[in-house]
Each structure stands twice: as structure tokens, then as C-alpha cells.
């Protein structure tokens, strides 16, 4: 993994962008997410959160279970507003 | 941890970080911010982050106008791109009563150099071609309203404050504020004690409890407020769309996603609940798709919530507590804390260091509730 490796494919966030924030002293997954948008795209971190957790743990020299994960929120997968509004069949 | 501080700020949200930065910028030394989680973990990082100058009271117009002036140059000042955009707010009127109120609002705003105007539904559709203007009687539009990235703004204030010497302790919870007959003596935290005679309560949703820790009463409470966001799509329209009578606000962000919410003071959970409800998503989706029908196929990717800190008149409480010397408060913003943080940070710093501010702060003092001098702002969601 080098600085150009894309960690979050939805938001095109590279390891270099994430490492820069870790270098600045940010340490939690939520902080990294909030600054870089890693995990904020349509998949909501389902693809990248595990990769990111391991990368942060390795950087901080901690075990992966010591890194707190972000809150998972509804919906489980993206839902059209028209379906939510009840205006059309899914 | 540091043992002694000149000023201890409780809360690492946008209020606390803005106050800390402005104090340090004015030369104040030995400032500490205590945050029980991480910076922007509470309402600052959960808000819609729109800022508007279209209000119905002179005080709110002036506060908002001066806050926007700061936002306009804040990326340069803090050396951090906070993603400012000024694409305006379009506020829709659906009743005659609203039209009359908006006419007054615009007159007031224009007298204060806020470039708002009352426009027709046809003119509104020129600004937002995909807008369903059914039942819309008129609208007000102010092109210099806008939004910023609330997370980056709060981090930017926190980083700038630390460059000026402010000490930030995260994951540090305040357990007690010890006082004696002279005032504040020390702040006890989960990581040790800090001797200080000055505390700033900028604890957002937890402001009431942070009052109780010092034995003072603060008449505010936390109430949940929900927001949803969609996947990013191509640019559809520019301004924030808002209505008081139909109760919504939503906007397409520069990034492409559409974000919005509505207030539900009668039903929403009171307290520190940050869960979400299905009813909110369904109701918000109805509001959005009826106003902008092309949104039907755009997908929601997330919903979340945070706390409004409600005061008895839904206006902020700024200033010193009458029962405890040098116990300052910047809280109770009732949903407008983020947009006002640039200006309230300046005002609080001036007030703490010099005892007065360039804008009158007395009106927002906590004693107004006892005096019965509530501030009645007609234009809130």
C-alpha cells in the first residue's frame, strides 16, 4: 500500500490523504472519516471500513480491536427517495 | 495534564473551539478545551451547516450578517479550506401571514445591508427550475446566504487555536466544578484536576448538566433533530430550499449530495438520543420529492441525528451566570449555533477579556427569562 492506493472507492480517498491526517495527530476512524470523507459514500464504509481500520491500527501500532468503529446508520443499502415517500413500488 | 489554566472551556464543538481561537487571537494565554469525546463529535459535526441572514429580529439579522462576514474570509484566516459556498437561501411562503411577515423581514434585512428580496413564484422558478411552486405565494431570496463544511470548520478552529497555544484534551470528561465563596476554584476531570477561576460552558446538548456540575441552573434541554443525505448526483439547483410553515430545509451541497431535515418539537425525543426514526426518513422524502419531483430516483444513503439545545425562547444564552462569577455560557442556540459560531466566538472572547462587546450581548443574558424579556424570532424551522 502506498500513498496513491485508494482506500475509499466511493469517495476516491487515498492512503496518502488519510496518512496526512494521522500524521497531524488524528487517531480515530470517525475523525479520519469526517475530514477525508472516507466511508461517507454510497456504500457507507461497507467496502473500506475494514481496510481503513487495519491501516489505522498498523499506523498507531495498536490492535485492530482497539480502534473504535463508526456508527452504522440506516438505510442498509441506498433507497430512492420516491420509494421512501411511498410514491412508487420497489 | 496541565494543572492550572486561566480559562477552561468545556466542549470541543464549534462554539468552544471558536471561543478558544478568538481568545488566543486576542492574546489570552493558558486556555484549555476539555472535550469528552473528539472535536465535532456532538451537534457541530451533525448539523446541516447552512448559514442565513434572513431573520425576523434585528438582533438575529445583525448577528447572522456579521457571522457571514467572518465565514467569507475564514478559510484564509484559519489556513484551512472549510468549503464555503454562497448559493443563497430561497425561503418559500405558503400563507398570507407568511407573506406579510416576509415583507417585514425583507424591509428589516435591507435596512441592515442584507441583500434579501421578496420575489414571486415565477422568479423563484427562474432560480430553481426544477421547483414545484404549487401553493407557493411568494418567496424571499438572499444570494449571500450559504453553507460550509461543519466538520472541517470545527477542526479548522481547533487546529488554529492549538497553533496559538490552546491546549485541547479529548476523551476528558468534566466531573465537577468546585466553587467557594470567591467563585470557581477548580475543574475536576476524568484525567485529573485543573486549577482555574474561569470556566466557559460551551457543552452544547450537555450544557444543562455542565451547569449542574457547578451548582448553577441553566434552563435548556437537548432535543433530537434528524437529517438525511442522498448519494451525490449532478448539479440540480443552487440555493437552500426552506419553509417555516411547511417545515423543511434541504440543499444540494457542492459535493453533489442533497442534505436536509425538518423540526418536530412536539414529537422528537428529548434528551441525548442520537438514534434515528423511520418516520423521519419517510416524511422527509415526501417533502423533498413533492417540492423537487426529480429527486424521486435519487437514493438516500444515510440518516443521522444530533441534539438541538433548546432555550425557553429558542435564542442563545450568552454571558456570565448571575449566581457564579466568571462562569460564562455560550449555549442554548436552539438549532442556530453553528451558523453563529464565528460571531459568538468573537463576542464571548471580547466579553471575557474586556467585559463588553461591540454588539450588545446583554439582551442574550440568562437573566432575561426572569425579567420576562424573551426574544421572539418569527422565522425559525
* Grid cell in block for residue B143: 444570494
- Closest chain B residue to A46, measured at CA: B301
Average pLDDT over residues B35-40: 98
Chain B contact for A66, CB < 8 A?
no
- Closest chain B residue to A88, measured at CA: B296
Average pLDDT over residues B205-216: 98
> Which of B255, B274, B289 has the CB atom closest to A82's CB atom?
B289
Nearest CA-CA distance, residue B354 and chain A, Å = 34
Average pLDDT over residues B344-352: 98
pLDDT at B322: 97
Reported as a pLDDT band with limits 50, 70 and 90, residue A87 is low
Nearest CA-CA distance, residue B256 and chain A, Å = 11
* Grid cell in block for residue B146: 450559504
B281–A35 C-beta distance less than 8 A:
no
The pTM for the full model equals: 0.97
Beta bridge partners, A6, equal A14
> Which of B151, B282, B300 has the CB atom closest to A35's CB atom?
B151
Give dist(CA A10, CA B334) in Å, integer.
34
Residues B299-339: tens digit of each pLDDT: 999 999 999 999 999 999 999 999 999 999 999 999 999 99
Closest CA to B337 of B365, B366, B306, B302: B306
Reported as a pLDDT band with limits 50, 70 and 90, residue B221 is very high
B259 CB contacts (<8 Å, ≥6 apart)?
B48, B227, B228, B229, B230, B250, B251, B253
Closest CA to B149 of A15, A40, A78: A40
Reported as a pLDDT band with limits 50, 70 and 90, residue B380 is confident
* Grid cell in block for residue A6: 485508494
Give dist(CA A59, CA B270) in Å, integer.
40
B269 CB contacts (<8 Å, ≥6 apart)?
B223, B224, B275
Which of the residue ranges A66-70, B100-104, B119-123, B329-333 would you say has the lowest mean pLDDT?
A: A66-70
Average pLDDT over residues B49-61: 96
pLDDT at A90: 46
Nearest CA-CA distance, residue B73 and chain A, Å = 20
Reported as a pLDDT band with limits 50, 70 and 90, residue B381 is confident
Between chain A and chain B, how many beta carbons pairs sit less than 8 Å apart? 83
Phi-psi sector, A62: left (phi>0), alpha (psi -120 to 50), beta: beta
A84–B302 C-beta distance less than 8 A:
no
Closest CA to B351 of B319, B307, B315: B319
Average pLDDT over residues A69-79: 94
Reported as a pLDDT band with limits 50, 70 and 90, residue A68 is confident
pLDDT at B369: 96
pLDDT at position A17 over 90: yes
Instruction: Tell me: cis bond preceding A61? Omega within 30 of 0 counts.
Output: no
Nearest CA-CA distance, residue B30 and chain A, Å = 21
Reported as a pLDDT band with limits 50, 70 and 90, residue A1 is confident
B186 CB contacts (<8 Å, ≥6 apart)?
B177, B178, B193, B194, B195, B196
DSSP-assigned letter for residue A68: P
Average pLDDT over residues B48-64: 96
Chain B contact for A88, CB < 8 A?
yes
pLDDT at B379: 85
DSSP-assigned letter for residue B358: S
For chain B, the average pLDDT equals 97
Give dist(CA B164, CA B159) in Å, integer.
9
- Please give the backbone phi and psi of residue B64, each rounded to the nearest 5 degrees, phi first: -65, -45
Nearest CA-CA distance, residue B41 and chain A, Å = 9
List of chain A residues whose C-beta atoms are within 8 Å of the C-beta of residue B281 = 74-75, 84
Burial class (CB in 10 A: 0-12, 13-18, 19+), A40: buried
Average pLDDT over residues B80-84: 98
Q: Are B56 and B137 in contact (CB under 8 A)?
A: no
Beta bridge partners, B302, equal B229
pLDDT at B342: 98
> Which of A37, A75, A81 has the CB atom closest to B296's CB atom?
A81
| Angle of helix B14-25 versus helix B150-163 axis, rounded to 10 | 30
B64 CB contacts (<8 Å, ≥6 apart)?
B51, B52, B53, B55, B114, B339, B340, B343
Closest CA to A51 of A35, A74, A33: A33
Residues A19-42: tens digit of each pLDDT: 999 999 999 999 999 999 999 999
Amino acid at each position: 500500500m502506498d500513498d496513491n492506493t485508494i482506500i475509499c472507492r466511493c469517495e476516491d480517498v487515498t492512503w496518502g490523504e488519510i496518512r496526512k491526517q494521522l500524521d497531524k495527530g488524528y487517531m480515530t476512524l470517525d475523525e479520519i472519516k469526517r475530514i477525508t470523507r472516507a466511508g461517507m459514500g454510497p456504500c457507507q464504509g461497507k467496502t473500506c471500513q475494514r481496510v481503513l481500520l487495519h491501516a489505522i491500527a498498523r499506523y498507531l501500532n495498536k490492535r485492530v480491536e482497539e480502534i473504535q468503529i463508526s456508527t452504522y446508520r440506516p438505510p442498509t443499502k441506498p433507497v430512492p427517495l420516491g420509494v421512501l415517500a411511498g410514491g412508487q413500488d420497489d | 495534564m496541565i494543572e492550572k489554566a486561566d480559562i477552561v472551556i468545556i466542549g470541543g464543538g464549534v462554539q468552544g473551539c471558536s471561543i478558544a481561537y478568538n481568545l488566543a487571537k486576542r492574546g489570552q494565554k493558558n486556555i484549555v478545551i476539555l472535550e469528552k469525546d473528539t472535536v465535532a463529535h456532538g451537534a457541530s459535526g451533525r448539523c446541516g451547516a447552512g448559514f442565513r441572514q434572513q431573520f425576523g429580529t434585528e438582533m438575529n439579522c445583525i448577528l447572522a450578517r456579521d457571522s457571514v462576514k467572518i465565514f467569507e474570509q475564514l478559510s484564509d484566516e484559519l489556513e484551512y479550506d472549510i468549503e464555503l459556498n454562497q448559493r443563497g437561501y430561497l425561503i418559500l411562503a405558503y400563507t398570507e401571514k407568511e407573506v406579510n411577515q416576509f415583507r417585514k423581514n425583507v424591509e428589516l434585512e435591507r435596512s441592515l445591508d442584507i441583500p434579501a428580496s421578496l420575489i414571486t413564484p415565477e422568479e423563484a422558478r427562474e432560480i430553481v427550475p426544477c421547483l414545484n411552486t404549487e401553493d407557493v405565494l411568494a418567496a424571499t431570496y438572499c444570494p449571500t446566504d450559504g453553507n460550509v463544511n461543519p466538520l472541517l470548520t470545527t477542526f479548522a478552529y481547533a487546529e488554529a487555536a492549538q497553533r496559538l497555544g490552546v491546549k485541547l484534551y479529548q476523551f476528558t470528561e468534566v466531573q465537577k466544578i468546585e466553587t467557594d465563596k470567591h467563585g470557581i476554584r477548580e475543574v475536576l476531570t476524568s484525567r485529573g484536576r485543573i486549577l482555574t477561576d474561569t470556566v466557559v460552558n460551551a457543552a452544547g446538548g450537555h450544557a444543562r448538566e455542565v451547569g449542574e456540575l457547578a451548582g448553577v441552573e441553566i434552563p435548556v434541554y437537548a432535543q433530537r433533530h434528524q437529517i438525511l443525505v442522498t448519494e451525490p448526483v449532478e448539479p440540480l439547483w443552487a440555493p437552500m430550499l426552506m419553509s417555516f410553515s411547511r417545515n423543511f430545509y434541504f440543499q444540494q451541497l457542492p459535493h453533489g449530495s442533497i442534505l436536509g431535515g425538518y423540526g418536530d418539537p412536539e414529537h422528537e425525543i428529548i434528551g441525548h438520543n442520537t438514534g434515528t426514526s423511520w418516520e423521519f426518513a419517510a416524511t422527509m422524502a415526501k417533502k423533498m420529492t413533492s417540492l423537487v419531483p426529480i429527486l424521486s430516483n435519487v437514493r438516500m444513503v444515510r440518516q443521522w441525528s444530533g441534539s438541538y439545545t433548546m432555550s425557553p425562547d429558542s435564542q442563545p444564552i450568552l454571558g456570565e451566570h448571575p449566581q457564579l462569577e466568571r462562569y460564562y455560557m455560550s449555549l442554548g442556540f436552539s438549532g442556530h449555533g453553528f451558523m453563529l459560531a464565528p460571531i459568538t466566538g468573537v463576542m464571548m472572547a471580547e466579553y471575557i477579556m474586556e467585559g463588553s462587546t461591540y454588539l450588545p450581548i446583554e439582551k442574550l443574558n440568562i437573566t432575561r427569562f426572569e425579567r420576562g424579556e424573551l426574544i421572539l424570532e418569527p422565522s425559525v424551522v
